[in-house]
């Protein structure tokens, strides 16, 4: 499956399984760090928030899961906080249960005095935000969302004014585009490295962001993306 940039350049799409292999090769064989790629993702996500708001200030709510997608959202929260945005963070579980890179990102925010809001304030901060960033699940979906993740998706759809999803709208199967349960309805999706095959019919705008993966990583899987980004770090896509 192919997408196209606005300049007409063909961009190959990957399945969730292929993207997992891209991540593995990038880390295990090329030595890229998870936090390096996450930093690039979070910075690009913050820049897309600024682009959608067409300004340097605003009110933003980050819905963050416990994995790499949530870590990217928390990284985005830091970049926005650094630029004096009003940022509210809503986690899909207790902060003490975060692990790995997501925990690292939260600890940086907490050291800067930014704490997650209580679950009781979720509806309030969703309604107050000009942009809600969906960083709950990503391409690692396994069946229908449940528990707090499902609740956050439903509340976001009910109360958010505009939604920016990271990589894949939460609840959407990255490979098939099917939604086995609740699914975020985004105004824009910022997918990472390469678009996912399941994004062909996703609502809203589709943007792909450079997170620093060398093209030779994709070559290992027989993928030959052209010079997608050139002087840019993210570009708009359309279906081929």
pLDDT tens-digit profile of 177-201?
Answer: 999 999 999 999 999 999 999 999 9
Domain boundaries, the chain: 2-239
Percentage of the chain exceeding pLDDT 70 = 100
- The gap from C-alpha 14 to its chain's centroid, in whole angstroms, comes to 16
Region 206-232: mean pLDDT is: 94
pLDDT tens-digit profile of 77-116?
Answer: 999 999 999 999 999 999 988 889 999 999 999 999 999 9
203 CB-near residues (< 8 Å, 6+ apart): 185, 186, 187
Output the CATH code of domain 2-239. 3.40.50.10260
Task: Report CA dihedral (177, 15, 97, 169) to the nearest 10 degrees.
Answer: -30
Spatial separation of the C-alpha atoms in residues 215 and 188, rounded to whole Å: 25
């Amino acid at each position: 499956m192919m997408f196209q940039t606005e300049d007409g350049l063909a961009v190959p799409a990957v399945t969730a399984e292929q993207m997992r292999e891209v991540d593995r090769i990038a880390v295990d064989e090329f030595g890229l760090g998870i936090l390096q790629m996450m930093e690039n993702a979070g910075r690009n996500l913050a820049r897309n928030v600024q682009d959608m708001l067409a300004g340097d200030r605003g009110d933003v709510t980050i819905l963050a899961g416990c994995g790499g997608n949530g870590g990217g959202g928390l990284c985005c929260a830091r970049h926005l906080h650094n630029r004096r945005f009003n940022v509210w963070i809503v986690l899909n579980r207790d902060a003490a249960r975060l692990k790995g890179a997501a925990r690292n990102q939260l600890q940086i925010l907490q050291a800067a005095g930014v704490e997650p809001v209580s679950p009781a304030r979720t509806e309030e901060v969703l309604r107050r935000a000009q942009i809600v960033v969906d960083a709950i699940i990503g391409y690692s979906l396994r069946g229908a969302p449940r528990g707090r993740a499902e609740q956050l998706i439903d509340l976001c759809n009910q109360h958010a004014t505009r939604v920016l999803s990271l990589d894949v709208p939460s609840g959407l199967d990255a490979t098939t585009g099917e939604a086995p349960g609740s699914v975020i309805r985004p105004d824009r999706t910022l997918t990472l490295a390469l678009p996912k095959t399941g994004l062909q019919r996703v609502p809203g705008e589709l943007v792909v962001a450079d997170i620093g993966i060398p093209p030779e990583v994709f070559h290992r899987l027989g993928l030959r993306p052209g010079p997608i980004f050139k002087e840019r770090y993210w570009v708009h896509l359309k279906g081929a």
